[in-house]
Structure 1
Amino acid sequence: MRLRISTRCYTVTSKRKLTTGLQNRLSNVFIPPYIASRVDGGMVIPFFQAESRLGTRIASQTWVSASGTRNVIRKQLIVLTTSGIYHVLPLGLRVQEKIERIINITMASLCASKLSLSTLSSSKLWKQTGRWEKYGQELFRLTDRKSSEFCLCPTHEEEITNLIANEILSYRQLPLRLYQIGRKFRDEKRPRGGLLRGREFLMNDLYTFDASEAAAMQTYDAVQAAYYRLFKTIGVPFVVAEAESGNIGGDKSHEYHYLSSSIPEFGALLTIGGEDKVLVCERCNYAVNTERSSSPQCLQCGSQMHEKSAIEVGHTFHLGTRYSEALGAFVTAEDPSIRSAIQMGCHGIGVSRLVVAIADICRGSRGLCWPVSVAPWETVIVTAGQEEGAEQVWDLLKDYTDSVIDDRQKTLGWKLKDAEAVGYPVTVIVGHSKG
């Protein structure tokens, strides 16, 4: 959406400089260069350069739809440093931090306490749960100078359960809900899809602990409701599908998916389109992962199910006592002579994965179309040199919207194309009105 605001024309010098005022300015933001290519009926569409001056490849490509139409996304979000490992650039980091803010608010609604667990985990814990061998080659393993074995955590069930086993002794200390937003590592055989399937990624983990299975089921339902609110807040349509628990284990599991068109890989930097397949009933909205059920009939209403490509962005698991029994996390009941294993749940949201998934879903023929909730900035103020007028508009908007001034020494037309490619929800044009 564009808004035009008339103001007097002010002259500015052409020399670029860092500005230390209170206003957010794009001239102060590191944004890699790009080159322009004329395609699709003469429309000028921006591309990133394949290589920067630092020698790193820019993680940006054109997306090619099934119909052959090029939807070119100016990806100023991530930079590939080596296979499966990326640096997050300033615009991408702003999107990521806004997602984290929504997660923190959601976790607070669940009365969950935030903590930070160590990335390094001892092999002793993983061997106790049987996952040291079961995880296979995807687990990054290392040995210290004393020949002690460790791993870089792809998930933290072992560490959180060991912590609780040493600190929680009575049912009176339950229920308990703990969460973190931290880095995970997985030695992917074939890293692909940018941050969709990388070797290092950012996750939100929520771990829940209850004294009984009935209480654990109530907690599971509360987490599902909170996740529903979270994804509604982000504003991208999603489906909730019944799923298998996989390596984590447990007997109840749901996945949260963004439905995506099936779009082929372009250039091996970004795999666009869904990695998962889900069956969706258009009549009652029931959904199930094809790994759990391949029945063409809806299990709830009997209608025809339709297979969709999807990107998994969240998952909830009821673990039961799998980890608590293995690692000795027991609590006493009202009768001190009775001890029972803690009922656990683990729930995750792919934070860095969400950045790429939202970009994949929210795109058009001219660039990205960020939801207001996670856009790098909600509003960009574009001007052809009237810097003082742009500052006045920024001051007017600062209490109502997250704004940035595009004060770079470029033409108005260039800035408007750039704003469209980046995908700011609102563009405000400040200029002189001849009328």
Structure 2
Amino acid sequence: MLYSNGLRRSFGALHSHSLYASASTRRALHYDGRNRLSNFWTPTQVKNRSQSGDEDGHDLLMRAGFLRQAHSGIFHLLPLGLRVQNKIECLIDKHMLMLGASKVSLSSLSSEELWQRSGRLEGRGSEFFRLQDRKEAKYLLSPTHEEEITTIVANAVHSYKDLPLRLYQVTRKYRDEARPRQGLLRGREFLMKDLYTFDVTDEQARQTYEAVRNAYAAFLDELKLPYLVANADSGNMGGKLSHEYHFASDKGEDIVIGCNSCDYSINEELYVGCRLARDGERSMEAQMYYAVSKDRKKLLQVLYPRDLDLNSYAIKALFPDVDPSVEDALSTWVDAAQAHDSCGTRVLLADSRVVGVSRAHDSPSAVPIEVKDGLCPIQISTEILEPKLEGRQVLLTKAQKGDPCPNCANGHLSLQKAVEIGHTFHLGTRYSEPLDLQVLDANNKQATVSMGCHGIGISRLIGAAAALLADKKGLNWPLAIAPFGTMLVSTSGVSLDDVHAMYDVLSDAGVDAAIDDRERPMGWKLNDADLVGYPFIVVLGKAWAEKRAVELQCRRLGVKEQVGGQELVGKMAEYSMRL
């Protein structure tokens, strides 16, 4: 941060006119407490002329020397990248401390036996990196640590007086992604912050959940980047209450649906649209979708508007027994009925907007089952499934821009691609129950602890922030996590003493500055600074020699102006409020 009242050094030293030291001295590594690029490895690369098209955030991270790829989905962080990562960790530490959380560091190796006890091992084998030791004990590289932290707490905490408890870590995680892509946004090794919370009652756990949500908002506000918060699916983590935190980005794999009139915001995975019938509304031609129940006894036949995408989440909400993994649902259903010499049950579900909905309800036999020879080889009984949830008629298709909001009377929906960078989950007893985490409550009775888990993808945040602000010249880091907040660049006519004195003034004011003292032409240094994406560039050149003024550059704000040395810190503090 910048503090304009933090000046403690005199500007008198800025009037020295001694020239740079000899070339041999400049090449030697020298440490005097100042950040200087001659001592800091920044292996930036010039764009290859054969490259066509614009570079994305990942391309720029590679070319600007923040990281290098080791293997598919696995990356090495270089000094610039590590400085960004460390700054994010420091911000996280600050906000976790304000929550009263204690920091731990758990092993990357996790026991398969614990995952079997929690029920999360089955059906997910392909996602794990698995290994055995010389005694054939089975382990996996942890993609997350709920089982391990729950076991630790179960062995150490036995009374309600020891709760609430909040533990967090920043650690590497592993997931054997089938198709790693977009650099840090979907890798096989990644850095995450995990916070695990433990409370005596569900009510207290929900209060903790809201406190964590506030802490996440404060953390993201400090980055000064636009973000979205959406209701989300808890998935394999468990529980029914969760929220995702996103940066809006065309590179994103999620779609966040929001309303222009109310605070409705939800991940597309959870969206179920609803609409009251309108006078004169035109019916739409139908298309067909088949699915089969898990016991293979029922065929779900869905009629929905042609040229629109089916909403699988709405289908599952209406017909929870559906098995979406079966590709040829019709043949599977027919084969099961023939094997048991039984009548096949068809469940007919029709979107209210399609042609012939009333006919389907009044005469369901008029809606054929589309088999190859035109005749279904088994007898069929038909059940009608109304597309209603909680008394409201729902749509069977995904949201489209401009659709009515299901939460308010006047709003319309917008759709935004986004990159998920955080997720909060209220877990309840999802892990504490199978792993025997109980405490004696105030009535001296055993109570199963209510938990929450809350993550921030640090690697993903780096990749998403890089992509969000990049332009044709290079990266553009938020001031809070930039590798250096300010880069000092000087022409050969400016003395090293002047540069050092300017650095000291900025440093004393709380500015995270560095000096580019490498043996390179001035134009090369400025282009390199643009590529790396320092928020501020301060140039000591001709104006410095003439009137003790510097050129202050801030590409993100479109600033390029001369500023007197005495006014520089104040001017930067003013601009920093927007960075």
The code of the aligned residue for 1:19 comes to H
Of 265, 268, 276 in structure 2, the residue corresponding to residue 287 of structure 1 is 265
How many residue pairs are counted as aligned between the two chains? Answer: 394
Of 183, 197, 204 in structure 1, the residue corresponding to residue 186 of structure 2 is 197
CA offsets, 1:355-398, max 9 Å, x none? 11110111122111111101111110001233222111111111
CA offsets, 1:379-420, max 9 Å, x none? 100012332221111111112200000001111111111111
| Cα 1:19/1:333, change in 2 over 3 Å | same
SS in structure 1 at match of 2:131: strand
Residue pair 2:238, 2:427 contacting (<8 A) in 1 also: yes
Q: Could you tell me how far apart the structure 1 residues matched to 2:466 and 2:139 are? A: 35
SS in structure 1 at match of 2:29: coil
Matched, 1:307 2:415: yes
Residue pair 1:259, 1:310 contacting (<8 A) in 2 also: yes
Matched, 1:393 2:502: yes
Runs of 5+ unmatched residues, structure 1? 40-46, 48-60, 66-70, 263-272
The equivalent residue for 1:413 is 523
The equivalent residue for 1:325 is 433
Q: Could you tell me how far apart the structure 1 residues matched to 2:264 and 2:478 are? A: 25
Q: Could you tell me how far apart the structure 1 residues matched to 2:60 and 2:459 are? A: 21
Measure how far apart 1:9 and its partner are.
Answer: 6.5
Residue pair 1:62, 1:72 contacting (<8 A) in 2 also: no
127-136 or 185-194: bigger deviation: 127-136
The equivalent residue for 1:55 is none
Report 1:29-428 matches (<5 A): 29-36=40-47, 62-63=54-55, 74-260=63-249, 262=250, 273-295=251-273, 296-302=403-409, 303-336=411-444, 338-385=445-492, 386=494, 387-400=496-509, 401-428=511-538
73-82 or 320-329: bigger deviation: 73-82
Residue pair 1:316, 1:347 contacting (<8 A) in 2 also: yes
Measure how far apart 1:285 and its partner are.
Answer: 4.3
Runs of 5+ unmatched residues, structure 2? 1-13, 274-402, 547-579
| Cα 1:366/1:330, change in 2 over 3 Å | same
TM-score by length of 1: 0.86
Q: Could you tell me how far apart the structure 2 residues matched to 1:122 and 1:409 are? A: 53
Q: Could you tell me how far apart the structure 1 residues matched to 2:228 and 2:215 are? A: 14
CA offsets, 1:126-166, max 9 Å, x none? 00011112322111111111111011100000001111111
Residue pair 1:6, 1:432 contacting (<8 A) in 2 also: no
346-355 or 131-140: bigger deviation: 131-140
369-378 or 285-294: bigger deviation: 285-294
Measure how far apart 1:421 and its partner are.
Answer: 1.6
SS in structure 1 at match of 2:473: coil
The equivalent residue for 2:33 is 22
Residue pair 2:158, 2:439 contacting (<8 A) in 1 also: yes
Q: Could you tell me how far apart the structure 1 residues matched to 2:170 and 2:260 are? A: 34
Measure how far apart 1:37 and its partner are.
Answer: 5.2
CA offsets, 1:253-312, max 9 Å, x none? 00000001x2xxxxxxxxxx1111111223334321000115343343341111111000
SS in structure 1 at match of 2:481: coil
Q: Could you tell me how far apart the structure 1 residues matched to 2:261 and 2:84 are? A: 34
Larger fraction in strand = 1
SS in structure 1 at match of 2:416: strand
Q: Could you tell me how far apart the structure 2 residues matched to 1:418 and 1:184 are? A: 33
Measure how far apart 1:64 and its partner are.
Answer: 6.0
Measure how far apart 1:213 and its partner are.
Answer: 0.9
| Cα 1:422/1:11, change in 2 over 3 Å | same
Q: Could you tell me how far apart the structure 2 residues matched to 1:298 and 1:217 are? A: 27
Instruction: Tell me which structure has the larger Cα radius of gyration.
Output: 2
CA offsets, 1:71-112, max 9 Å, x none? 967432110011111000111111110000000000011000
Measure how far apart 1:30 and its partner are.
Answer: 1.3
Measure how far apart 1:197 and its partner are.
Answer: 1.0
What is the alpha-carbon root mean square deviation over aligned residues? Answer: 2.1
SS in structure 2 at match of 1:100: helix
| Cα 1:258/1:6, change in 2 over 3 Å | farther
